[in-house]
Amino acid sequence: MARRLTGISLDAHDSSPLYQQVFEQVVQRVHSCTFPAGYRLPPSRTLAAELGVHRNTIVHAYADLESAGFVVSKVGRGTFVASAPPSALIPLPSRPAVSQRRPLPWSSLIAPQAMAEPLGRFDRLARVSRDDVIHLGRMHPSADLLPVDLFQRCMDHALKTYGAKALTYGPREGLAELRRSIAEELGRQGVPASADDLVITNGSQQALDLVVRALLGPGDAFAVDTLTYPGITNALIGAGARILTVSSDAEGPVLSDLERVGSSVKGYYSMPRGHNPLATTVASRRCDGLLEWSRQHGVPIIEDDYTFGLSLDDEAPPPALRSRDREVIYVGTFSKTLIPALRIGFVVCPPALRSVLVSLKHSLDLGNSALLQYALAEFLERGYFRAHLARIQPEYRARRQALESALAAQLPVEAHFRRCAGSLHLWLSLPTGYNAEEVADEARRRGVNVSPSTLYALDSRESLGLRLTFCGEPPERLREGARRLCRTLNALAPKHGSAARTDASLGVV
């Protein structure tokens, strides 16, 4: 601190590293009681000379200390340490005596659906046993792909522009600015939507939960794919719904299965542009059949486009179901393509359902963070989201290629994997005789985390394959993760009579 500053900009003093150091030094002295209550702090000129900084730095530090309640300033007399530090201004209540009583009978008090077996699978199957584990099971961006600086600019802008307004409750349906920006972004991607069609939610998971609450009562039936996103099945279980499954082939849901459930269900959940976990897209003619089934039976379709805006192949992504039918309930999120911690998702739906969702949402959380909504609206308005997608898509392609090439070189010959343009994962089909949970457990012991098919099935005995994500690790770790997984499969192969791969042909189907 011996270096003397010749001046500090008044507008930038709070972001100056040197200012932060000086401020922390003064706070530390006051807060640690180096200066007792009532102590008169040195004049700003004297302390500036002692610390070797410009006087303006001390003036601003004293002002900030006074705003925080550490000191009080008296005109003509000086600046004095407050009679009590801020953390001690409110006395702590005395601790009451803890009564001794028998525990309540929680096993009989907890609702049966809260103890359903599928709800506990993640804790059972997603354990990480090694510090050096390579994550092929987590579907969110790695830290190096998060737009920290760009989003910080938007946060700063939101606070400077809206001030205290950004720190209060926002509208129940979400900020109009954000709804307009999302509607414009969806329009550029061919998804028809207006701001009045949207409800902002705490991630897409809340959007799904709201739709389930709006449509279903206890015992009502709902259709999902045989393997599907666990979040929808968890929401359905919590609502006490009867879940009916629909099988799929390479083109999407089997229409004869949908006809079998007919109008007995109150909804069908689909991921047509990037199935999780199967890494498939629904063929155009199958989409036509799906929409016709919905119209004939009066059953709403929930379209989950969790990676909206992302396409890792050269061809254009298939059109959204909502682009063909405005009765489709369209759900999206920024967790997968932008920042997981935003917890901002949205639902686009018909007017009759929207008002119900808004009321239900208000009863659950009273609204999303206004500050984050203002910041995200600014992020979209400045074009940062499209620029961000343009930056991360080549990186995701490189990561996907690294994982694919390493798998293709060493997989057992009967094992195959597939991909689709709108997903951040591969689906690895296991040869007959393998047990997905057994493979996942052994892979974990060898330092690679994968997601077995039992996480995505109603029936925990389903053992069809593994979901392998590539968004959360750099290429070299993905290659090493593939090698560890392939060693796992080849080690288990003799037990199941499966031959190891000896050629380097690409195992994509």
Q: Which helix or strand (DSSP H or E) is residue 389 part of?
A: helix 384-410
Separation between Cα atoms, residue 170 and residue 164, nearest integer Å: 12
Domain 125-144+388-496 grouped into CATH 3.30.565.10: no
What stretches of 423-465 show up as alpha helix (H) in DSSP?
436-445
pLDDT per residue of the chain (509 residues) written in tens, 0 to 9: 233 333 333 344 455 666 666 666 666 655 555 677 888 888 888 888 888 888 888 888 888 888 877 888 887 788 888 876 555 555 666 777 777 788 888 888 988 888 888 888 777 776 665 678 999 999 999 999 999 999 999 999 999 999 999 999 899 999 999 999 999 999 999 999 999 999 999 999 999 999 999 999 999 999 999 999 999 999 999 999 999 999 999 899 999 999 999 999 999 999 999 999 999 999 999 999 999 999 999 999 999 999 999 999 988 888 999 999 999 999 999 999 999 999 999 999 999 999 999 999 999 999 899 999 999 999 999 999 999 999 999 999 999 999 999 999 999 888 999 999 999 999 999 988 899 999 999 999 999 999 999 999 987 666 789 999 999 999 999 999 999 999 999 999 855 454 444 333 333 44
| Bridge partner residues of 221 (DSSP) | 242, 265
**What count of other Cβ atoms lies within 10 Å of the Cβ of residue 256?**
9
Reference 388, options 425, 323, 320, 342; nearest CA is: 342
Q: What angle do CA 379, 380, 382 make, to 5 degrees?
A: 70
Q: What share of the chain is helix, strand, coil (3-state, %, to 5)?
A: 45, 15, 40
Show Cβ contacts of residue 34 under 8 Å, excluding neighbours closer than 6 positions: 28
Q: What is the pLDDT of residue 133?
A: 94
Q: Does this model's pTM top 0.85? A: no
Which residues make up the CATH 1.10.10.10 domain(s) of the chain?
A: 13-88
Q: What is the pLDDT of residue 90?
A: 59
Q: Name the one residue in this structure whose structure tokens are 């000896």.
A: 502
Which residues make up the CATH 3.40.640.10 domain(s) of the chain?
A: 147-382
Q: What angle do CA 279, 281, 286 make, to 5 degrees?
A: 145
Which residues make up the CATH 3.90.1150.10 domain(s) of the chain?
A: 125-144+388-496
Q: What is the pLDDT of residue 116?
A: 84
CATH architecture of 13-88: Orthogonal Bundle (1.10)
Contact 407, 480 (CB under 8 A): no
Beta strand segments in 344-492, E: 345-348, 416-418, 425-429, 448-449, 451-452, 465-469
Separation between Cα atoms, residue 346 and residue 199, nearest integer Å: 6
Q: What angle do CA 381, 156, 69 make, to 5 degrees?
A: 155
Widest distance between CA atoms in the chain: 90
Show Cβ contacts of residue 468 under 8 Å, excluding neighbours closer than 6 positions: 136, 137, 403, 407, 417, 425, 426, 427, 428, 450, 451, 485
Q: How many helices (H) and strands (E) does the chain have?
A: 16, 17
Q: What is the pLDDT of residue 17?
A: 63
CA atoms within 13 A on the CB side of 168: 5
The alpha carbon of residue 366 and the mean position of all alpha carbons in its chain are separated, in whole angstroms, by: 20
147-382, what's its fold?
Answer: Aspartate Aminotransferase; domain 2 (3.40.640)
Q: What is the pLDDT of residue 495?
A: 57
